[in-house]
Structure 1
Amino acid sequence: MHAHRPRKRFGQHFLHDAAVIAKMVSAIAPRAQDTLVEIGPGLGALTLPLLARVGRLHVVELDRDVIPRLQERCREAGELIVHSADALRFDFAALAPPRGRLRVVGNLPYNISTPLIFHLLEASHAIADMHFLLQKEVVDRLVAAPGSGEYGRLSVMVQYRCRTEALFRVGPGAFNPPPKVDSAYVRLVPLDTPPHPARDETLFAALVNQAFTQRRKTLRNAVRHLADADTIRAAGINPGARAETLGVKQFADLANLIAERHA
């Protein structure tokens, strides 16, 4: 078989650094009883060591050209269950075992990482944890605290549902072709119950989105279609504050007050 050339339209950057791969596997700490699914296995750099540890592995791969190579590489390693599909439309919850949860891993294509994380959050009830190699800038946003430049809609929406932890940084040289940016490895652990539950999660998402769409504006102006200054004040928040200074709890408190006042 001729060598597979990474394809731009799939945002492919294949991992080849053995030390980085070993660190990733060690962070995942896979066990034989785990139901593990890898997104975008590519040529199997992470797939092989995972399969060797768990014996059975689901993979979701969009690029049909790499699938025969992947199957060939993994033939002796264990049972590889290939789902030839677009991860953005794939039903991950359907893979969860009857009495357990899925573990999701992947070296995610940069161009779909944010929408893919949002898609996975919808199935978070069926997921035990997620380990992803992402653009470092995305990881910075996932773990950012209020008041920092990286903090935004992604930070709030992910931290509402998950415990987030940046694990380590990965340089461009670990990939072929090398990306133009640094990457980082992140762990996301869905929480059984959000620590600050929103009564209406659709309203909560709309509020967060509205607040950060015009992040330079004060809250009073940014969310005026959803809440007036009095409502913001009644939630214990300064209407003159900016969205990036509010924690998840404050967004949930405000969303709950809006829901209550419109009930």
Structure 2
Amino acid sequence: MTDFAPHRARKRFGQNFLHDQGVINRILRAVHPQADQHLVEIGPGQGAITAGLLSSGARLDVVELDRDLHPVLLAQFGHNPQFQLHKGDALKFDFSTLEDDERPLRVVGNLPYNISTPLMFHLLNQATHIRDMHFMLQKEVVQRLAAGVGDNHYGRLGIMVQYHCQVEHLFDVGSGAFSPAPKVDSAIVRLTPHHQLPHPASDPRQLEIVVREAFNQRRKTLRNTLKRLLSAQIIEEEGIDPGLRPEQVDLAGFVRLANRLGKADNNEQTL
């Protein structure tokens, strides 16, 4: 077996390697991989979770950007016919290319904090190929993802992710579980794409516009934050009090406003 010098975590990749075996086992129990499944691990690092995923007998594709980790991963797992290493940036990776049979992908990853949000949306754009996702993220990000109406953490990120999938905040992970230890705590979240959207928007881009505008000044009322897009009368016609603050409006309400905005735009184009 080839010996490698210890790999030093790189700041530019946002690397914090998980070493707490108790946490690793808890993540594996949450994912509960099965032999007939197709898993994808993003940023396997030094393989802390990789070994457990492979031991299930499942097929496992891993995507790793750090070239210094490629020989380490291949030395540990390259002999396993169920293992496949993809060298590259997960933000640019087309995950749909991995689905070569009827099995939807199950995605797992300890995501660097600096790319977690864009990477989640990159994956949600390919959600038709994905069964579920289990991510280690900054605890505050998971709180924002899972927040409901009236919660201090409720906002643009949670609404847009909940539009696409069910969000479950599974458990928290202290900074001591990593090397080097980050300055913040982490948490594990499960994202399960909806088979059918519970509140489909006519155009999701309009939903993004409305939600972004509403939360740009979250302490103001909808009457003020959305005045460039929708009048107070139109907001009221959709069954929403224009005197509410954005954190008091649920996903279904924002979808109604987005659909109304889409109708207004279409009417302008036909004039």
**Per the shorter chain, which TM-score range?**
over 0.9
Contact 1:60 1:84 in 2 (8 A): yes
Hey, what does 1:234 align to over in structure 2?
Answer: 237
Are 1:73 and 2:76 an aligned pair?
yes
**1:89 aligns with one of 87, 92, 96:** 92
Secondary structure class of the residue paired with 1:110:
coil
Contact 1:133 1:185 in 2 (8 A): yes
What is the alpha-carbon distance in structure 2 between the residues aligned to residue 94 and residue 212 of structure 1?
A: 36
What is the alpha-carbon distance in structure 1 between the residues aligned to residue 81 and residue 248 of structure 2?
A: 49
**Higher mean C-alpha displacement, 214-223 vs 191-200:** 214-223
Superposition deviation, residue 98 in structure 1: 3.5
Hey, what does 2:49 align to over in structure 1?
Answer: 46
Are 1:118 and 2:121 an aligned pair?
yes
Superposition deviation, residue 75 in structure 1: 3.4
Q: CA RMSD in A?
A: 1.3
* % same residue: 53
**Higher mean C-alpha displacement, 57-66 vs 72-81:** 72-81
Superposition deviation, residue 64 in structure 1: 0.8
What is the alpha-carbon distance in structure 2 between the residues aligned to residue 204 and residue 88 of structure 1?
A: 23
Are 1:213 and 2:216 an aligned pair?
yes
Contact 2:38 2:104 in 1 (8 A): yes
Hey, what does 2:163 align to over in structure 1?
Answer: 160
Are 1:5 and 2:8 an aligned pair?
yes
The gaps in structure 1 that reach 5 residues or longer are none
With the length of structure 1 as denominator, give the TM-score of the two structures: 0.96
Superposition deviation, residue 96 in structure 1: 2.1
What is the alpha-carbon distance in structure 1 between the residues aligned to residue 181 and residue 81 of structure 2?
A: 30
Contact 2:36 2:58 in 1 (8 A): no
Hey, what does 1:180 align to over in structure 2?
Answer: 183
With the length of structure 2 as denominator, give the TM-score of the two structures: 0.93
Contact 2:34 2:58 in 1 (8 A): no
Superposition deviation, residue 55 in structure 1: 4.4
Equivalences, count = 263
Secondary structure class of the residue paired with 2:107:
strand
Contact 1:55 1:78 in 2 (8 A): no
Secondary structure class of the residue paired with 1:196:
coil
Are 1:139 and 2:142 an aligned pair?
yes
